[in-house]
Structure 1
Amino acid sequence: MMRRNGKGISIPEVLIVGLVICIIGAIVGPAFTKASAEAKLTNLVDRLELVRSQIERYKAEHNGLLPGQLKHGCGIRSDDFVQALTESTSSTMPYLNEMPENPFNGSNEVKIGDGSKGTIGGAGWFFDFKTGEFRADNSRIHAAY
């Protein structure tokens, strides 16, 4: 049997404290990971809603033209789309200060195409100029938002 003189901590006590800390970490750790993923998803949805609302505002103020579109039915270049939303003109303030980043991949790049040429995982965002749909481009799951 170990004798204690009242000073210090014994090795078994240290091991027990370490084990308790590990058990608490195993219980609490996944909750933090889940909360982080949920926060990113909420952030993604908020950013999608923001950009979509500004696209609709742009259309209302430009006779139904999409951002960066010169005339109805024509295609749009990615740079023109972003510029139309983020730069001010002599008569208007910018619709967005900057194109937001997709919180899942950190990209604010926008790829433009029609529905048949949509990408997944190639950029932060995808804009379908045929349908006017703006969506996340980092995964098929997030593209559904």
Structure 2
Amino acid sequence: MRVLGITSERRRCAHGFTLVELVLILLLVAILAALVIPRFTHASKNTRDTSVATTLQFLRGQLELYKSQHGDTPPAVTQLWTVMQQPTTHNGKGVGPYFRATPLNPWNGMTSVSTTDVDTGAGWYYRVNGTQYELHIRDVDGKPDRSY
């Protein structure tokens, strides 16, 4: 059948995809997204966990170095990042700095240090007891994450 010079077969092809074809394509894309997105999310979390563990290992190592160079005394809580980033002296010899930049907590984006058990306004937990210390990263709820 000819309508305005176009055959019905040509007219059918000129209309594009049918609704069923579009639904099938969308369904296929949704299935692929459901399979792929969780893998990237999991990989991203693993990368961040590894980064946190590496950062804490480095910071604790530098705290041990500070202690060994300062008569087995860890830095005070109020001076932690300041003292660790500047050259200091002990028994007349220059030591430090132990790292260049204040470490950023990737969970909450903060750099501040606190000694309280729950503090949503701090990125790090640090407590000194004589020659012993604890350094932990804080989770998004402000609690020290002792799993690293």
User: 2:67 is matched by which residue type in structure 1?
Assistant: K
Q: Which of 72, 96, 100 is the equivalent residue of 1:97?
A: 100
Name segments (4+ residues, structure 1) moved above 4 Å.
Answer: none
5+ long unaligned stretches in structure 1: 68-75
Give the CA deviation at 1:25.
Answer: 0.7
Q: What is the match of residue 127 of structure 1?
A: 126
**TM-score with structure 1 length normalisation?**
0.76
Q: What is the match of residue 36 of structure 2?
A: 28
Give the CA deviation at 1:8.
Answer: 3.1
User: Are the aligned partners of 1:122 and 1:137 in contact in 2 as well (CA < 8 Å)?
Assistant: no
Identity %: 27
Q: Which of 1, 7, 18 is the equivalent residue of 1:10?
A: 18
5+ long unaligned stretches in structure 2: 1-7
> Secondary structure at the residue paired with 2:83?
helix
Specify whether residues 134 and 58 from structure 1 end up closer, same or farther in structure 2 by C-alpha distance, changes over 3 A only.
same
> Secondary structure at the residue paired with 1:129?
strand
Q: What is the match of residue 58 of structure 1?
A: 66
> Secondary structure at the residue paired with 1:24?
helix
Query: Between Structure 1 and Structure 2, whose CA radius of gyration is higher?
Result: 2
Q: Output the aligned Cα RMSD.
A: 2.4
Distance, in Å, in 2 between the alignment partners of 1:12 and 1:141 is: 53
**TM-score with structure 2 length normalisation?**
0.75
- How many pairs does the alignment contain? 131
